[in-house]
Amino acid sequence: MTARPAPEPRRILIVRLSAIGDIVMASGLIPALRQRFAQAQISWVCEAGCAPLLKHHPDLHEVIIWPRGEWEALKKAKRWGELWRAVRSFKAQMKARGFDLVLDGQGLMKSGLIGWFTGAPRRVSIIAREGSHLLAHEVVTPPSSDAPVIGSEYRFLAGYLGAAEGAFQLNLAVGVAPLAKAREAVAGHVRPLVALCPFTTRPQKHWVEAHWPQLAQALYDRGLQPVMLGGPADVEAAQRIAAAAPGLLNLVGKLKLDETVALISICQRLIGVDTGLTHMGTALKLPTLALFGSTRPYLHGPTPSTQVMYDALPCSPCRRNPTCNGRFDCMAQLTVQRVLDAALALPEAA
């Protein structure tokens, strides 16, 4: 499949509103677009909570916040007139920016509408769903694969637009101020840092909680400094894990999102489940071990420094429909020793 001939765009908009992991995977579009359209301005629209991932990037002209929270509050309060005016104002602002190429990396009605608001003469959507194909000029459907590479659908989009082979590389930028905060958070810890990322939104994607303190202590006993990362919602579980691992540095809930990116960038390795923080390790070219069971978004990283640990059980991947009555066999059989050995054997970043 090849794209139709079109004038070279001057202003490009990427629409990927959430979530953290998806935005990390889609970040490879930035260098791919920069290579393909060297003179174009590249902007990105996302939800406020994800903006810190993008705001430090030198190749982004602008990070635009979709005010979803404001709109939902007005809807809940049934302030329909104010909601209509807010939506109309946002639409006018998007149209005034003069985008001539919009890439909908979400393929939903909400992302399609934002692309349509721009009035761009060329709007390309990945796997358009919920009727969003009606709001795009072109729909790109990546081929299925039994062994996908991280960010495979966005890679396909980059190739569809004519980016060179290899131009797509997950690409996060580290801000100066967040890096200073990250260094302050680990001040006094002189051992090589290993990031541990145990938390995500679905229980079937979690590794056995009792395994994390064992892994952390084993790393510490080998001269490394395990650092646990996560968000405010993970604090209670993190406290349980940290209480059982005296050598573990618990920074869960203590860093902002861009500070977490910066902290990961100064680690030597990362071990995590299928979550956005784990994908950050790959984006930052860190030796990364990803523990998969119920999900299989990718089996290969872009380089050997990202390794996926995944046992293809007959029930895997079950995604959102576990059949094991809460045993989560796919994750339980990843023993501490297996994970430790694989983490210590990770190839250095290329």
Is the CB of residue 69 less than 8 Å from the CB of residue 93?
no
**Distance of alpha carbon 94 from alpha carbon 65, whole angstroms:** 11
**Amino acid identity, residue 73?**
A
**Distance of alpha carbon 307 from alpha carbon 184, whole angstroms:** 30
Give the per-residue pLDDT at 147: 63
Give the per-residue pLDDT at 318: 66
Q: Quick one: three-class SS letters along the chain?
A: CCCCCCCCCCEEEEECCCCHHHHHHHCCHHHHHHHHCCCCEEEEEEEHHHHHHCCCCCCCCEEEEECHHHHHHHHHCCCHHHHHHHHHHHHHHHHHCCCCEEEECCCCHHHHHHHHHCCCCCEEEECCCCCHHHHCCEEECCCCCCCCECCHHHHHHHHHCCCCCCCCCCCCCCCHHHHHHHHHHCCCCCCCEEEEECCCCCHHHCCCCCHHHHHHHHHHHCCCEEEECCCHHHHHHHHHHHHCCCCCEECCCCCCHHHHHHHHHCCCEEEEECCHHHHHHHHCCCCEEEEECCCCCCCECCCCCEEEEECCCCCCCCCCCCCCCCCCHHHHCCCHHHHHHHHHCCCCCC
CA-based max dimension of the chain: 62
Give the per-residue pLDDT at 350: 62
**Distance of alpha carbon 164 from alpha carbon 79, whole angstroms:** 49
Tell me whether strands 269-273 and 193-197 are parallel, antiparallel or unpaired.
Answer: parallel
Give the per-residue pLDDT at 331: 81
Give the per-residue pLDDT at 205: 82
Q: Which of the residues in the chain have pLDDT under 50?
A: 1
Is the CB of residue 336 less than 8 Å from the CB of residue 207?
no
Beta-bridged to residue 14, according to DSSP, are: 44, 103
Q: What is the pTM of this model?
A: 0.91
Paired tokens of 162: 């004519």
What is the per-residue pLDDT across 117-140, written as a single tens digit (0 to 9) for each?
999 999 999 988 999 999 999 999
Give the per-residue pLDDT at 326: 67
| Main-chain phi, psi angles of 203, to 5 degrees | -60, -30
Tally of residues, the chain: 350
**Amino acid identity, residue 240?**
R
**Distance of alpha carbon 258 from alpha carbon 240, whole angstroms:** 25
**Distance of alpha carbon 333 from alpha carbon 28, whole angstroms:** 33
Is the CB of residue 107 less than 8 Å from the CB of residue 131?
no
